[in-house]
């Protein structure tokens, strides 16, 4: 048995997008294959970016290593309890300036887009992902030796979804709750309201 949280959409969207969701139940026995992880990183690598600047950076840690344990310790307590069971934790960071020290204005935008590629590839591989912004950014930066030009953005838990994983409340209830989104009409602004009227 698995939990399905298929997105409700006006018209069909690709199943990789409709079926993806962010679980907290991960199978602690499961190891993410090396080729699968490489596929995730390749998908991210080929994301578009402003001026092809590719500001995304990744640090991959595997469950069962000291690095994974240390990164887990730097997660917010509410994330630590379940993310420790994931097969891998990927720190995603963004390079904020180019080689000439000029700010990369779209660095965070581009990095988010690379993560969108990564999690969609994971879905295609049959892997679950759950992004986390709740972590000690200064601690991670220090631990990873990122310096001032590279900022930590998210940690992505990657692994195999486990429907039977034990979760304390309120996470157990959230795990089974349907996904929700604002209606499309809230997001697509009517043209007459968004265009400045010219006399």
In this structure, are residues 158 and 37 in contact, taking their beta carbons and an 8 Å threshold?
yes
Shortest Å, Cβ 26 to ligand FMN: 12
In this structure, are residues 9 and 67 in contact, taking their beta carbons and an 8 Å threshold?
no
Question: Please, which residue, 7 or 98, has the CB nearer to ligand FMN?
Answer: 7
Shortest Å, Cβ 100 to ligand FMN: 29
Q: Is 105 in the site for ligand FMN (CB under 6 A)?
A: no
Binding residue for ligand FMN (CB under 6 A) from 32, 88, 118, 132? 132
HSE-up (13 A, CA, CB side) for residue 144: 28
In this structure, are residues 133 and 140 in contact, taking their beta carbons and an 8 Å threshold?
no
Q: Which residues are paired to 94 by β-bridges?
A: 56, 151
Choices 27-35, 40-48, 100-108, 130-138; region in contact with ligand FMN by CB under 6 A: 130-138
Q: Is 22 in the site for ligand FMN (CB under 6 A)?
A: yes
β-strand pairing of 150-159 with 128-132: antiparallel
Question: Please, which residue, 105 or 174, has the CB nearer to ligand FMN?
Answer: 174
Binding residue for ligand FMN (CB under 6 A) from 79, 111, 151, 160? 79
- DSSP SS3 for 62: strand
122/88 Cα distance (integer angstroms) = 12
18/93 Cα distance (integer angstroms) = 27
| Count of residues in contact with ligand FMN, rule CB under 6 A | 9
29/22 Cα distance (integer angstroms) = 19
Binding residue for ligand FMN (CB under 6 A) from 103, 133, 170, 178? 133
**Quick one: which of 126, 132, 123, 173 has its CA closest to 20?**
123
Q: Is 137 in the site for ligand FMN (CB under 6 A)?
A: no
Q: Is 179 in the site for ligand FMN (CB under 6 A)?
A: yes
Question: Please, which residue, 98 or 131, has the CB nearer to ligand FMN?
Answer: 131
Binding residue for ligand FMN (CB under 6 A) from 134, 137, 139, 143? 134
Shortest Å, Cβ 90 to ligand FMN: 13
In this structure, are residues 40 and 122 in contact, taking their beta carbons and an 8 Å threshold?
yes
Positions that interact with ligand FMN (CB under 6 A): 21-22, 79, 131-134, 154, 179
């Amino acid at each position: 048995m698995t939990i399905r949280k298929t997105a409700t959409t006006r018209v069909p969207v690709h199943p990789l997008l409709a079926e993806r969701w962010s679980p907290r139940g991960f199978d602690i026995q499961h190891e993410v294959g090396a080729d699968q992880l490489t596929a995730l990183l390749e998908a991210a690598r080929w994301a578009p970016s402003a001026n092809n600047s590719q500001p995304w950076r990744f640090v991959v840690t595997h469950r069962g290593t000291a690095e994974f344990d240390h990164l887990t310790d730097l997660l917010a307590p509410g994330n630590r309890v379940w993310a420790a069971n994931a097969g891998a934790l990927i720190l995603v960071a963004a390079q904020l300036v180019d080689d000439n020290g000029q700010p990369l204005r779209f660095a965070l935008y581009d990095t988010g887009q690379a993560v969108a590629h990564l999690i969609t590839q994971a879905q295609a591989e049959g892997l679950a992902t759950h992004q986390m912004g709740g972590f000690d950014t200064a601690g991670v930066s220090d631990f990873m030796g990122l310096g001032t030009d590279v900022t930590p953005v998210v940690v992505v838990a990657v692994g195999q979804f486990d429907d039977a994983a034990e979760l304390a409340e309120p996470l157990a209830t959230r795990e089974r709750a349907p996904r929700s989104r604002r209606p499309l009409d809230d997001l697509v602004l009517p043209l007459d309201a968004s265009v400045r009227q010219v006399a």
